[in-house]
Amino acid sequence: MNRFIKFCKKLGNKILDLIFPTNTKCIFCKDEIIDFDKTPYCEKCAKEAFNKGTKCSICDTQIKEGNVICDHCKSHRRNFIKCYCPLNYQADVRKSILSFKDSNAKYLAKSYAKIIFDYIKGDNITFDYITYVPSHKKKVKRRGYNPSQVLAEELSILFNKPCIESLLKITETQQQKNLSFDERAKNLENSMIVTNAKIIKGKTILLVDDVVTTCATIDQCAKLLSHFSCKIYASAIARNHLKANKKK
């Protein structure tokens, strides 16, 4: 029976490798690439996928040249120092991240982590721990994992810093994407609690999420952690940029 189980696992892994090749194709558009270990994306995506230009010095959303902080960070005091988001949440990047979050493409976490690592290291920030935005246990059960945790664990290896749980989601909330700017913050109230308070007290922490739009989720997480004198940096794979003429 054990041999049969092992055989099934090996067969399953081979099938997954065929469906989700991890070393031959661009992680965004799936075009063939020459050196996956050096850059897991093609030249076209290298030009289009990255979050470039003038960006808010706090939340990393794109802003007009000459500005330093976006309107939202001016009007809403953030509980984190800075959020790092190397990619734009659009087109093939969006499809790739949705596969990572909802189609069991966990292998993408290693490539995402390397992109985030390279993006952050230029600022020479220091921190004591890496933690992640929690998912409710029902959501983890449905999905099989918490994408933010998987990503944080890969970043832990690259930064050589411990990855710890510091927050627990105790209430299953509405999906943030369907809510306004103010509704997103209200939706998260009383939905999380801090764990490992003694360990994190007074520490500097890198908080990991998958995608940010209004920063309401990471801001609420940072607010809870700041009650224990923590300094918070944040990171995500991609930034869904705010648009003034659309519902936030």
Domains of the chain, CATH where assigned: 1-48 (no CATH), 56-239 (3.40.50.2020)
- More confident site: 17 or 233: 233
Q: What pLDDT is recorded for position 21? A: 53
- Give kind and range of the element (H or E) at residue 221: helix 216-226
Entry pTM: 0.86
Residue 119: burial class (beta carbons within 10 Å; 0-12, 13-18, 19+): middle
Calculate Rg over the CA atoms of the chain. 19
Q: What pLDDT is recorded for position 113? A: 97
**pLDDT value at 179 more than 90:** no
Closest CA to 87 of 126, 67, 60: 60
Per-residue pLDDT tens digits for 73-105: 998 899 999 999 999 999 999 999 999 999 999
Distances (CA, A) of 123 to 208, 209, 247: 17, 19, 32
**pLDDT value at 108 more than 80:** yes
Q: In this structure, are residues 154 and 188 in contact, taking their beta carbons and an 8 Å threshold? A: no
Distances (CA, A) of 172 to 139, 192, 208, 220: 8, 10, 19, 15
Q: What pLDDT is recorded for position 245? A: 38
**pLDDT value at 186 more than 80:** no
